Amino acid sequence: MFYTARIIGIGSYVPEKILSNKDLETMVETNDEWIVERTGIEERRISKEGVETASMMAVEASKRAIADCGINPEELDLIIVASTTTNLISPTISCVIQAEIGAKNAFGYDLNNACPGFLTAFSTVEAYFEAGLAKKALIVGTEVISNYVDWTDRGTCILFGDGAGACVLEAKEVESKEEVNTVIMHSDGVRGDCLTCEHGRQLGLMDDPEFLNKNTFSMDGKAVFKFAVTETPKVIKEVLEKADIKKEDIDIYILHQANSRIIESIASRVGIDMNKVPMNLNKYGNTSSASIPILMDEMKKNGMFKTTQKVVLSSFGAGVVWGAAITNIDINR
C-alpha cells in the first residue's frame, strides 16, 4: 500500500485593480503592441496597498480552496505557503491561515523558492504523504510582486502581477508504486545572477544608494528566457520518462505563466498540442508562485476538470530552480 497526493480543492484571490498595457505606456517608454507580441500579457492585477497583502490574499485563496472541497479545516495536517514577497517575517503566513480558518491540528511553515515555490510546496507535501506523516494538506502561492518592481525599468515592470492561489491535497491510498506521483526538482545556483532582488533591510547598507537599487527585481531577460526554454522541456521529458507515461496520456500541462512565447516554445520542444496547455497570463501577467494555482482555479471555473485528470505541473524561476510533477486532479470526487 502506498500514499500519494491528489488535488481535491482549488481556490484563488486576485486584486481588483487592473493595470493595463495602456496604463504602463504612461509610466515607461513601452507600448501595448510590443508587450503583447513579446510576452502575451495584456493586463495584470495590482494589490491595494496595505490591504491586499500576501497574507490577506493567501487567507482568502485558502478559504475558497477549502470551500471547494468541503473538508473541515480541522482535518488538515499540514499548511505550506510559498511566497517570495511576503509581508510577514513572523508569524509565518501559514500560521496566519491556520488561525483564520481554524486548522488547529495542522503544522505549517512558509518557504521562498521564487516562481517554483508552489511546485516546491507540492513536492514537499508529496514526500510527507509518501512517508505517512500527513493525510491532508493545504498549499498556497501568494505574491505582491508590485512591492518589489522597479516601475522605471520597462524590461521587468511589464511582466509581473499580484495574486494568490491555493490547493487542498489529500493522501490517496494506492495499490502500486506506478500510481504514485512522480516529482523532479532541480536547482543551479551558478546561474542565479540572471534574476535577483536583495532583501531591503540589511543594517549598514540601508543608506547606500547602490544597495537600494538592488531591492527591486533585476533581470537579464534573455538569460532567463533561454534557461526556461532549455531546462523546462528537458525536465518535463525527464518526469514523463521516469513515470513511464507517454506525453499523449497527460490530459493537461499546467505550466508557470511567465510569457506566452516561453510556454509555446516549451510545448513545441516537448511535442505537446497547445490545446493541452492552457494560459491566462494575458489577464494576470507573471504572478510567480501563484501562477499555477490561479490558472487551475480558472480552469475549474471554466469546467475544464470534468473527471479525474492526469496533469503535469511545471515551473521555473529565480535561483535558478525548475521542476515538474505528474499528479491527478480529482475535484469532482
Is 38 or 247 the residue whose CB approaches ligand UT7 more closely? 38
Is 97 or 325 the residue whose CB approaches ligand UT7 more closely? 325
Is 30 or 187 the residue whose CB approaches ligand UT7 more closely? 30
Q: In the complex, what is the shortest distance from the CB of residue 308 to ligand UT7, in angstroms, rounded to a whole number?
A: 29
Q: In the complex, what is the shortest distance from the CB of residue 165 to ligand UT7, in angstroms, rounded to a whole number?
A: 15
Is 73 or 319 the residue whose CB approaches ligand UT7 more closely? 319
Q: In the complex, what is the shortest distance from the CB of residue 191 to ligand UT7, in angstroms, rounded to a whole number?
A: 13
Q: In the complex, what is the shortest distance from the CB of residue 157 to ligand UT7, in angstroms, rounded to a whole number?
A: 8
Q: In the complex, what is the shortest distance from the CB of residue 31 to ligand UT7, in angstroms, rounded to a whole number?
A: 6
Residues 6+ apart with CB under 8 A from 104: 74, 98
**What is the full DSSP assignment across 51-94?**
TS-HHHHHHHHHHHHHHHHT--GGG--EEEEE-SS-S-SSS-HH
Q: In the complex, what is the shortest distance from the CB of residue 268 to ligand UT7, in angstroms, rounded to a whole number?
A: 16
Is 103 or 229 the residue whose CB approaches ligand UT7 more closely? 229
Binding residues for ligand UT7, rule: CB under 6 A, are 30, 34-35, 38-39, 115, 154-155, 158, 219, 221-222, 224-225, 258-259, 286, 317
Q: How many residues does the chain have?
A: 333
Q: For 93-130, give one letter per residue: b (16+ CB within 10 A) or e.
A: bbbbbbebbebeebbbebbebbbbbbbbbbbbbbebbb
Q: Is 247 helix (H, G, I), strand (E, B) or coil?
A: helix
Place of cell 504523504: 129
Q: Which DSSP category does 213 fall into?
A: G
Classify residue 148 as exposed, middle or buried by CB count within 10 Å of its CB (0-12, 13-18, 19+): middle
Place of cell 547598507: 205
CB 80 within 8 A of CB 113: no
228/225 Cα distance (integer angstroms): 5
Q: What are phi and psi of 138, to 5 degrees?
A: -120, 130
Catalytic site positions: 115, 256, 286
Is 37 or 173 the residue whose CB approaches ligand UT7 more closely? 37
100/62 Cα distance (integer angstroms): 10
Is 71 or 324 the residue whose CB approaches ligand UT7 more closely? 324
58/93 Cα distance (integer angstroms): 8
Q: Looking at beta carbons, which residue is closest to ligand UT7?
A: 221
Phi-psi region at 199: left, alpha or beta (left = phi > 0; alpha = psi -120 to 50) = beta
Q: Is 273 helix (H, G, I), strand (E, B) or coil?
A: coil
Cis peptide before 320 (omega within 30 of 0): yes
Q: In the complex, what is the shortest distance from the CB of residue 61 to ligand UT7, in angstroms, rounded to a whole number?
A: 19
